[in-house]
Chain A
C-alpha cells in the first residue's frame, strides 16, 4: 500500500491515441517468425504435383522415377491417403439441398481444376522435392471443361462434375415480401414508372497476400503441432481433427507471424491436410511452402459473379423496388465458406437506401476453375458495387444528379436504428454528414467546374466524378444470426486476462492478427480498463495451446467482437480486484473508487492500492478475503446481439485520356464512420489498404482462364497487384457514430475501403465519358477496354487484343478471358 501522492491529472485515455505499433519492432528488423523460417531437426520438405489439366479422369499415376530420385524419401498419391484424407470442409451449407461434390485434398479419381494436387513428394531438401515433381507421370483422360457460368446453367451444359446432374450447387432466395420485411417485389416493378436493368461482371480476383502459404507439422508421439500461415488457427485445428480423425486434443495449431490474408488465409487448405497426413505417416517433421505461382493457381480466389440488377422508381426519383439475380462462381469445389460469400452479400444490396421491395436470387455455380471463397469484403463489395452502379444508371435515366438521387432515398440520421427491407437493423450513422465532409475534402465544386471546362473545350483528357455512399455489415457475428443462416459455427470471441505477480498483464485473445495491429490496440484497451501502463501489457494470440478458445480474424470482427471480449474480461478482473482491495483497505466494496489503476476509499484520502499491487498480493495469497480463490484473472466470451454497420462516402475524381484510354485517379477522398476509433493510426492504415485493393479491382486485377481452363495470370507479371506508382494519394476523414452493440462502440474498419472504393472509381470513369455515349466499362478498366468503349461502343469487351499475350482469350458475353481457337496463341501455356 502506498500513500496517496498529490493527485495530478489522470493520464489521457489510451483509446483514441495514435499509438505506434508494438508489432513493428520485429518486423522492421527482420526478427520475424514466418512459418517458412521454421527449421526443425530431421525436417523433410514437401513439393506438390499439380494437375496441368482442368477436367479429367486420372487413369494412372507412376511415381517410380520420382521415388528413386536422389534425396526423395517418399511419394504419396491420392490413393495412398484415400481412406484418411476425408473432404475439405464446407462450413456453410446455405440451403438444405446444397450440392457438395466433396473435395479430396489429393485427387483420387479425377481432377477438376488446373493446379489441383495429385501427388506429394517428400524429400530431404526443398530443391530435391521440387526436382522430383517433374518425374511423376500422371495419365489423364480429358473431360469437357466448364468455364462460363451462363453456359453452365443453360440447357444441356457440359458438367463440371460428371457424377452430378447439373452445375448448380445451390439456389438461395431472399424475398422481402415473403420474409415480411418488405412489399411484393413483382407488384412494385409492375407499378413502377421507371425500371433500369443492368448486367454487371464482378471479375475473378486473387487475394494475393504477400507471404506465400506454408505449413510445418511436428509429430511428438501421438501429438502434432502445426505451424501455418493461416488467419484461422482455431478453426483449422477443429477442422483438421474432424477431417483426419486426429483427436482435437492431440493437435496444436500455431499461426506465428502471418504475412497478410485478406480472406485468402481464411481456409482449411488441401496442403495443410496433406502436410499433417505426411507427418503422421512418416513420424517426421515436414514443411510445405508454396511458390507464388502455386499460390495464385491453387489458393482460393475471390469475387467472380455475374449480377443482373433491376431497379424500379417513379419519375421523381423515389425508389420503389430492387431485384437482384446473381450467378456466383464456386469454382470446382466448395471450400470453407464459398457458398456463404454471396449470401453475406444478399442482405447488403439495398445499401443505405429505403427500398420498399427487394428480392435476391443467387445460383451457386460449379466451373472447372480454382475454388472461390472469402476475399476482403466477401459478398459486400459485390453488393455495394451493384447498388452504387445502378443508382448512377437510374440517375442518368431520370436526368438527376447522382448525389441528389442518393440523398432523396437514403436513411436519414434521425431514423436510426433503421430496419431495412433485407431485415437488418442498421445501428447508427449520418450519411449526410459524411457526404458533406467528403465533398469538402475532395474540393468538389472546383472539380465539377474543371469538368465543365474540359467538356466545353472538348479536351482529349476528360474528367469525371464518381460516388459511393455505402454501408456494410461488420463484426461477424451474432451466433444466433449465423445459426439462422446455417453457418456451421458461432460468432463469439474469447479473451483472458492474466495478472502476473509483478503487475504486468498478459492478454490472451482468440482473434488472430496478420497485420491488423491487435498487440497495440488490445494493449490500449486493457491499459484504460485496468489503469496500467500501455507498456505493461503483452498480447498473446494465434496458438491454440495458449489461446484455447477463439474464432479468429475475418469479417472486420476483431475489435468489435474480440476487443469487446478483452474489455469484458478486464472488467471482471477489476471486479475481483475490488474485493481484494476492500479486504486489504478494510473498507466496504461500495466505498471504493477505482481510478487510474488504483482503488481508494471514497472520502478518505491517504491510502490506496493499485491493481498491480493487488496482483502481487494475489500471488502471495497470504492475506486474502475469506472464501475467495486466490486469483484475479478472468475470462470472457463476447457474443454480439447485432452486426455493426460502418458507413461512409467515397468520391473519386478521374481523368480519362480519350485518345489512349488511360485512366488516372486525380483525387480520391473518403469519409468513413467506423464508430469509436481506438487507434487513428491503425484505422487510417486499414482504410488505405482497403482502398488500394478496391481500386485494384476497378483498374488492374483480373484472374483470366483460357479456353482449356489454364490460369493465364499465374504470376505477378500477369496478375497486376498495383505498385506505389499505380495508386494515388488518399484524402481520408472520419465521422464518429458509436456502435451501440459493443462496449467499445467500434464498428470495424478492415474491409471498408475495399468495399466502398470500387464503384466510386468506375462511376468516376463513366462520368468522364458518358457524354461520349459510354454507358458501361467492364472491370478492370484497362486502357484498351476504355479506348474501345469510347471508340467502338459496348463495355470495352475483353482485356486486350486477341492473340496478344495479355489476352486470356476471346470475348464471350459472360466471362472475360475464355479463349477461342483463333486466340489460342494468347495466354500463358
Chain B
C-alpha cells in the first residue's frame, strides 16, 4: 500500500492505495465519486474523463499514485454555487445526452477542449472530443452544446463557490421549432 494525498472537487484526502489501483477505481470505490464512470478497459471510450491539475485525463489510464499531490476535478465538482457549469447547461439546452452514461466524461473533455480552443469550428469540436464515445446521440447535439457553451464562456467570467446539484430549467428549447 502507498499513501497518497490528493485534492478532489475541493476537498483533501489522504489514503492508502494499492500501487496498481487506477485513479478511476480510487475515485469510485474509495471516495464514492461515482459520478465518474467506467465504460471500457482500453482507454477508448473516455467515460471516465476527469481533470488532473486542470487537464483532461482518462482516469482509467492514470494510477491513483500518479495523482499524489495533485488536484482532481470530477463531474461532481464542476458546478459552482448551485450554478451549472456553462458546458453542463449547454448539454441540457441542446439535448446533448440521452442515457447520460458518457456525459460526465464528455462534459469534462469538452471543458478541456474549450480551455485550449475557446472558439472552435464544428470540425474542431468533433476532433476535440473524438476520444469520447457516445452511443446515443450521434454527436450532433453534443457539437451544438459545445458551441453554445463556447459562446457563453467567451462572454462570461468563471465563478467560484460551493458544489451542489443545480436546478435544471425544463422550459422548451428555443432552437427546435415546436410542432404546429
The judgment on whether A and B are partners is yes
Chain A residues close to B by CB (< 8 Å): 16-32, 34, 36-37, 39, 126-127, 208-212, 257-260, 262, 291-293, 514-517, 520, 534-535, 676-677, 680-682, 684-686, 688-693, 715-717, 721, 723-727, 729-730, 736, 753
**Nearest 10 CB-CB pairs, A to B?**
A30-B35, A259-B101, A27-B100, A515-B99, A688-B138, A692-B138, A716-B44, A30-B75, A515-B98, A18-B176
Closest to A516 in B: B98
Question: What's the nearest-Cβ distance from chain B to residue A810, in Å?
Answer: 26
Q: A24-B91, A210-B135, A723-B132 are in contact. List 17 more A-B contacts (CB 8 A).
A: A20-B169, A20-B171, A21-B95, A24-B92, A24-B97, A30-B34, A210-B133, A211-B39, A515-B98, A684-B141, A685-B141, A688-B137, A689-B136, A716-B133, A724-B127, A724-B134, A725-B127
Q: Which of B94-113 contact A (CB under 8 A)?
A: 95, 97-104, 107
B130 touches A725 (CB 8 A): yes
The one of A28, A36, A127, A716 that contacts B97, using a Cβ cutoff of 8 Å: A28
Contacts of B38 in A (CB 8 A): 36, 212
Contacts of A723 in B (CB 8 A): 126, 129-133, 139
The one of A259, A692, A717 that contacts B99, using a Cβ cutoff of 8 Å: A259
The one of B123, B139, B165 that contacts A26, using a Cβ cutoff of 8 Å: B165
The one of B91, B135, B142, B174 that contacts A721, using a Cβ cutoff of 8 Å: B135
B126 touches A724 (CB 8 A): yes
> Please, could you name 25 A-B residue pairs with CB atoms under 8 Å apart, sorted by A?
A18-B174, A21-B170, A25-B166, A25-B168, A28-B103, A29-B35, A30-B36, A32-B37, A34-B101, A210-B101, A210-B102, A211-B37, A260-B98, A293-B41, A516-B98, A517-B98, A681-B173, A689-B98, A715-B40, A715-B44, A716-B133, A717-B44, A724-B130, A727-B126, A727-B140
B45 touches A292 (CB 8 A): yes
Is B59 an interface position by the 8 A CB rule? no
Chain B residues close to A by CB (< 8 Å): 18, 28-29, 32-42, 44-45, 47, 74-76, 79, 84, 88, 91-93, 95, 97-104, 107, 122-123, 125-127, 129-143, 165-180
Contacts of A682 in B (CB 8 A): 95
CA distance A34 to B104 in the complex (A): 13
Closest to A717 in B: B42
In the complex with contacts A259-B99, A725-B130, A29-B88 CB distance below 8 A: yes
CA distance A724 to B140 in the complex (A): 8
Question: What's the nearest-Cβ distance from chain B to residue A236, in Å?
Answer: 18
Contacts of A680 in B (CB 8 A): 176-179
In the complex with contacts A20-B171, A22-B170, A716-B44, A727-B138 CB distance below 8 A: yes
CA distance A32 to B44 in the complex (A): 22
CA distance A208 to B35 in the complex (A): 21
B130 touches A19 (CB 8 A): no
A29 touches B76 (CB 8 A): yes
CA distance A28 to B38 in the complex (A): 16
A29 touches B165 (CB 8 A): yes
In the complex with contacts A28-B107, A724-B129, A727-B138, A210-B99 CB distance below 8 A: yes
Contacts of A24 in B (CB 8 A): 91-92, 97, 100, 168
Contacts of B37 in A (CB 8 A): 32, 34, 36, 211, 259
Closest to A732 in B: B140
Closest to A715 in B: B42
Contacts of B33 in A (CB 8 A): 30
CA distance A725 to B101 in the complex (A): 20
B47 touches A210 (CB 8 A): yes
Most chain A CB within a 10 A radius of its CB, from B28, B126, B172: B172
CA distance A586 to B135 in the complex (A): 57
Question: What's the nearest-Cβ distance from chain A to residue B84, in Å?
Answer: 7
The one of A23, A208, A724 that contacts B100, using a Cβ cutoff of 8 Å: A23
In the complex with contacts A211-B39, A681-B173, A29-B166 CB distance below 8 A: yes
A514 touches B35 (CB 8 A): no
CA distance A535 to B172 in the complex (A): 12
Closest to B145 in A: A28
Question: What's the nearest-Cβ distance from chain B to residue A70, in Å?
Answer: 12
B137 touches A689 (CB 8 A): yes
Contacts of A727 in B (CB 8 A): 126, 138-140
In the complex with contacts A28-B107, A259-B101, A721-B135, A21-B92 CB distance below 8 A: yes
Contacts of B142 in A (CB 8 A): 724
Question: What's the nearest-Cβ distance from chain A to residue B130, in Å?
Answer: 4
Closest to B133 in A: A721
Contacts of B98 in A (CB 8 A): 260, 515-517, 685-686, 689
Contacts of B133 in A (CB 8 A): 210, 716, 721, 723
A30 touches B74 (CB 8 A): yes
Contacts of A520 in B (CB 8 A): 170
B35 touches A716 (CB 8 A): no
In the complex with contacts A28-B100, A34-B101, A259-B101, A20-B92 CB distance below 8 A: yes
Question: What's the nearest-Cβ distance from chain B to residue A44, in Å?
Answer: 14
Closest to A684 in B: B176
Question: What's the nearest-Cβ distance from chain A to residue B62, in Å?
Answer: 17
B135 touches A262 (CB 8 A): yes
Question: What's the nearest-Cβ distance from chain B to residue A216, in Å?
Answer: 13
Question: What's the nearest-Cβ distance from chain B to residue A318, in Å?
Answer: 37
The one of A32, A515, A730 that contacts B138, using a Cβ cutoff of 8 Å: A730
